[in-house]
């Protein structure tokens, strides 16, 4: 049966749990699925249960020594923080050793792979796996709460299974460094990352000048935005760079990393998006897949540390986008979900609606120096700052894609 949309989910995703007080807590995934369910999104939806990624799958991106080290660590008798110089990054403050960490990480990777297989087989056009998006993991070390780079593994698999033009869009607050690293020299994969400026946030990469290497030059794009950026300037930046690049690249599939630590309440980053701005970004990426990739859209999760007030609502909007279910921002949060959330995290002031009331009306970018014509005072610092980044990024990358960096129609 072709359902055209699939939600890839396993309760085993909840075993990816670094420690009781680690910022990445699987409660966010549980509360997302219960909110999506409470709103009726999952009625009739195809839930696909993934298998864990095999060693052969993981070896697409990771080294044999690293995989062995992850297996060994997860079965050791000394979980927790071992020190800053732990081999392979396993046992640092960010990435403490936890029991069964190989198995827990392999199921997340298997989820993104399953989503890729569902789309490649033609069984579905869109698939979403909120457990994925571990975009910082490197070939032989854990990084930024990420053990196995599920999304790079899925892209690598797609490259071997009929796809040779893959667009990856990463809207997490942090630079998508691991995925960029995996494909920086591969012209078949366009990676685009929008993130908080590297001078102000770990991992301190993702400058406009990072454009790829060798034959992959021009298929790495970075748009860094300054701390405090709100919905409208963020969306202006997104639309000034992403649609033009996607149209020029002509992908067969769009892969989206949908980290939601860009939210104004996120404790680990300093961007200032609302749920509404994040929803607009998801819909924009879906629209790009519809327009340029025959609807093929693989969406994964990522960062997001507003475990109760942010992630569940944002990713419920993501699931709705993938399923093509109209979910209005002003929809009330079901009381049953509020009770569930309260029972898990009693101290949090719970949201009542699926919106933060954010303003997502952005002014389209209209070229360098265009702001005066739109009537925007040049002193609007937020726009000026985003435009500086837009111009730098377009000048670095657009000529390599055959586009005019100065022409707002490109
Ligand atoms: Zn992040």
- List per-block mean pLDDT (blocks of 10 residues) for the chain, which spans 410 residues: 82 96 96 98 93 98 98 88 92 95 98 98 97 98 98 98 98 98 98 98 98 97 97 97 98 98 98 98 98 98 98 98 96 98 94 97 84 54 84 96 94
8-state DSSP, 258: -
Nearest-angstrom CA–CA distance, 236 and 228: 15
Residues lining ion ligand 1 (Cβ < 5 A) are: 172-174, 259, 261, 303
Strand partners, 255: 168, 298
Which of 75-78's residues contact partners 24+ apart within 8 Å by CB, and which partners?
A: 75/99, 75/100
Query: Roughly what angle, to the nearest 10 degrees, separates helices 381-397 and 231-249?
Result: 20
Nearest-angstrom CA–CA distance, 35 and 292: 31
Q: How far is the CA of 225 from the centre of ligand 1 (A)?
A: 14
Nearest-angstrom CA–CA distance, 315 and 138: 25
Q: Are 320 and 358 in contact (CB under 8 A)?
A: no
Q: How far is the CA of 374 from the centre of ligand 1 (A)?
A: 33
Catalytic residue numbers? 136
Half-sphere exposure of 409 (CA within 13 A, CB side): 0
Q: Percentage helix, strand, coil, to 5, in the chain?
A: 40, 15, 50
Nearest-angstrom CA–CA distance, 286 and 292: 10
Q: How far is the CA of 375 from the centre of ligand 1 (A)?
A: 35
Q: How far is the CA of 257 from the centre of ligand 1 (A)?
A: 10
Instruction: For residue 192, give both structure tokens.
Output: 């685009």
Q: Give the residue carrying structure tokens 């997104």.
A: 238
Q: How far is CA 208 from CA 4, 84, 244, 395, 396, in A?
A: 36, 30, 16, 9, 7
pLDDT for 59: 98
């Amino acid at each position: 049966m072709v359902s055209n949309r699939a939600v890839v989910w396993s309760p085993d995703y909840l075993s990816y749990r670094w420690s009781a007080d680690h910022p990445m807590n699987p409660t966010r995934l549980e509360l997302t699925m219960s909110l999506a369910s409470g709103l009726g999104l999952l009625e009739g939806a195809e839930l696909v249960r993934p298998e864990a990624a095999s060693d052969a799958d993981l070896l697409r991106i990771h080294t044999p020594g690293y995989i062995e080290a992850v297996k060994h660590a997860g079965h050791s008798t000394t979980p927790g923080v071992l020190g800053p110089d732990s081999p392979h990054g396993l046992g640092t403050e960010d990435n403490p050793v936890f029991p069964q960490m190989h198995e827990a990480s392999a199921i997340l990777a298997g989820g993104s792979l399953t989503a890729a297989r569902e789309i490649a087989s033609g069984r579905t056009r869109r698939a979403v796996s909120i457990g994925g998006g571990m975009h910082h993991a490197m070939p032989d070390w854990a990084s930024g709460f990420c053990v196995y780079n599920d999304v790079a593994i899925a892209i690598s698999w797609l490259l071997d299974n009929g796809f040779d033009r893959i667009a990856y869009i990463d809207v997490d607050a942090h630079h998508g460094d691991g995925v960029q690293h995996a494909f920086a020299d591969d012209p078949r994969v366009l990676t685009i990352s929008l993130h908080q400026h590297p001078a102000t946030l770990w991992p301190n990469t993702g400058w406009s000048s990072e454009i790829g290497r060798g034959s992959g030059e021009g298929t790495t794009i970075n748009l860094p935005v300054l701390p405090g950026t709100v919905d409208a300037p963020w969306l202006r930046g997104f639309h000034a760079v992403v649609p033009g690049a996607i149209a020029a690249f002509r992908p067969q599939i769009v892969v989206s990393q949908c980290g939601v630590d860009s939210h104004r309440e996120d404790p680990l980053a300093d961007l200032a998006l609302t749920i509404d701005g994040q929803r607009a970004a998801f819909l924009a990426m879906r629209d790009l897949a519809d327009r340029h990739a025959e609807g093929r859209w693989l969406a994964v999760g990522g960062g997001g540390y507003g475990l109760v007030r942010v992630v569940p609502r944002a990713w419920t909007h993501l699931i709705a986008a993938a399923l093509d279910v109209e979910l209005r921002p002003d929809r009330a949060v079901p009381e049953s979900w509020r009770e569930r959330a309260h029972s898990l995290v009693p101290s949090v002031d719970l949201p009542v609606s699926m919106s933060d009331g954010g303003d997502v009306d952005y002014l389209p970018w209209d070229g360098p120096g265009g702001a005066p014509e739109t009537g925007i005072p040049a002193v609007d610092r937020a726009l000026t700052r985003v435009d500086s980044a837009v111009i730098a990024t377009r000048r670095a990358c657009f000529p390599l894609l055959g586009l005019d960096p100065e022409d707002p129609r490109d």
